[in-house]
Amino acid sequence: MTTIALAQLNLLVGDIAGNARQVIDCAARVKGRADIVVFPELTLTGYPPEDLLLRPACDTRVAAALREIAAASHGISLVVGYPAMRDGVRYNVAGLVRDGVVELEYRKMQLPNYSVFDERRYFEPGAHAVVFEQGGVSFGLTVCEDIWFDLPVQRAAAAGAQVLLNLNASPYHEGKALERERLVADRARRFGVSVVYVNQVGGQDELVFDGSSFVVDDQGRIRHRAPMFETAETLVPFDGALPANAAITPLLVGEEQVYRALVCGTRDYVRKNGFRSVVLGLSGGIDSALTLAIAVDALGADRVEVVSMPSRYTAEISNSDAQAQARTMGVAYHSIPIEPAFNAFLDMLAPTFAGAPPDTTEENIQARCRGIILMAISNKRGHMLLTTGNKSEMSVGYATLYGDMAGGFAPLKDVPKTLVYRLARWRNRNGEVIPARVIERPPSAELRADQKDSDSLPDYDLLDAVLAQYVEQDRSVDDIVGAGFPRNDVERVARLVDRNEYKRRQAPPGVKITRRAYGRDRRYPIVNGF
């Protein structure tokens, strides 16, 4: 009987000493009850450490951390992830630390270099299976991407592994947890091994890791599943190579899954950057309303401040809905009308602009006056400013740089507008926190009289459908038209997406929840004649 602990930790990228402390604390907690503890991929640096890996000081700190972990490994086997320079070559390693020494190191074979991943920038692939014995069972080591391919699993099985310990840093997108389980279950069945899949949890810049660690037996049956978006430490007893049943937390689904991802990513970005609180502009529209709900769920109402900043174009119901929501959610609320600053700029620019008709310039000035107010409050009080824009806007550039795009973090950056609506309705399921009218009104930027989003953009149903095909699936304009969308709209949307890369490049990060987010996941040139 061997008991394996799955340490689903929330690590801090770069904080090697702190992450080592988490390993040692966890080992101390489970010692006597567990025989082996499995930690996430690159436990010591967190994931993704990016170019921190290139600093020689990184290697020194990892080596020091490993010595401390080794000293804590008497009576318990710790399977820990870290980068390791060996003969001048850097590997992504899973090390077995027991009885005071780093006994074995497995080198990750499959290095992902697509989507958000850049592992070939840092690592060389390994080639050999590493298997160790404990309690009469053979355990094989693999790291994350390895298990998406046959070869590393095959080699481990051929080397005698009965149970695979797989260390992961697998970022979230909608539905990913289920994909992983299906794939790993298939590998387990085909190669006749049980698999212990340990994933990290928590936000890191634009990524959120959902945890969802699990254990499958050699028939591919789920024997344990840790919660999503929470740290966890579970002990799974094995009878020989067969896992006993342990807690199986249901997977979150649908809107709840996405919403929890947004809350987790937002909370960690704020907290891990050393902020305690946030401010955001509450317009009476649905994006800022949902952002407020996420902020309150992430940080608590006492750490959220909202500002309503009406102008001559703001409908009265926008102000009252904003105030009503602030009251419902119990957050600090001010109203600061932007007219004095807006007028000052119009006057200051009047000689320069003499004779020029009003255009988006004047709309942008309003958005930027709001940006200044919000950043001033952010600066003065030490709040992080949350940006409220959604993916549909970010895609087509329907947002003002340095205006409503200003901020440290954009929770909805990867959330299409149609999903914003679904999330808002879902959040209201147990009582209205977002006023119904905010959800039902036609959306408007309120930057000129009687403006509606639909004056400038196709219907959001159509827009989001086209964007999913153009941005997430790389389909061509002709293909999308062939799928039944009007050519005019498709061409316009594609052109807007291409032209607005410069805006996205200056946008704050947000939580990736789709298969392809803007940012490191979609790397487009700004100068682009495609």
* Shortest reach from residue 61's CB to its own copies, in Å: 8
Which of 26, 41, 181, 503 does the annotation list as catalytic?
Answer: 41
Q: Exposure of 530 by Cβ count < 10 A (0-12 exposed, 13-18 middle, 19+ buried)?
A: exposed
Number of shown-chain residues binding its own copies (CB under 8 A): 82
Q: Is 144 a catalytic residue?
A: yes
DSSP for residue 171: B
Residue 249 vs 335, nearer CB to its own copies: 335
Site for its own copies in 309-348 (CB under 8 A): 334, 336-338, 340-341, 343-345, 347-348
d(CA 52, CA 204) in angstroms, rounded, equals 14
d(CA 184, CA 161) in angstroms, rounded, equals 15
Binding range to its own copies, per CB under 8 A, among 158-166, 229-237, 357-365, 412-420: 357-365
Coil, helix or strand for 224? strand
Residue 149 vs 524, nearer CB to its own copies: 524
Q: Which ranges of 11-124 does DSSP label H, i.e. alpha helix?
A: 16-30, 56-71
> Does 15 sit near its own copies (CB under 8 A)?
yes
> Does 526 sit near its own copies (CB under 8 A)?
yes
> Does 194 sit near its own copies (CB under 8 A)?
no
Q: Exposure of 488 by Cβ count < 10 A (0-12 exposed, 13-18 middle, 19+ buried)?
A: exposed
Report the DSSP pairing between strands 201-204 and 194-199. unpaired
Binding range to its own copies, per CB under 8 A, among 42-50, 208-216, 280-288, 439-447: 42-50
Q: Is 256 a catalytic residue?
A: no
* Shortest reach from residue 215's CB to its own copies, in Å: 30
Chain position carrying tokens 């006057």: 347
Select the residue interacting with its own copies from 244, 349, 462, 496 (CB under 8 A): 349
Reading the block at residue 383, the tokens are 């709040």
> Does 57 sit near its own copies (CB under 8 A)?
yes
Question: Where would I find the beta strands (DSSP E) of 321-468?
Answer: 332-335, 384-385
The count of other CB atoms within 10 Å of the CB of residue 120 is 12
Provide the mask over 98-117, with x wherever binding to its own copies is found by CB under 8 A and - wherever it is not. Answer: ---------------xx---
Residue 149 vs 402, nearer CB to its own copies: 402
Select the residue interacting with its own copies from 293, 373, 399, 420 (CB under 8 A): 373
Contact 42, 83 (CB under 8 A): yes
Select the residue interacting with its own copies from 2, 22, 204, 418 (CB under 8 A): 204
Sign of CA dihedral 481, 483, 489, 493: negative
Helix (H) or strand (E) holding 243: strand 242-243
Which of 26, 58, 144, 369 does the annotation list as catalytic?
Answer: 144
Site for its own copies in 211-270 (CB under 8 A): 268-269
Site for its own copies in 392-411 (CB under 8 A): 401-402, 406, 408
Residue 316 vs 530, nearer CB to its own copies: 530
Reading the block at residue 447, the tokens are 């930057």
> Does 298 sit near its own copies (CB under 8 A)?
no
Sign of CA dihedral 525, 526, 528, 530: positive
Which residues are part of the catalytic machinery? 41, 108, 144
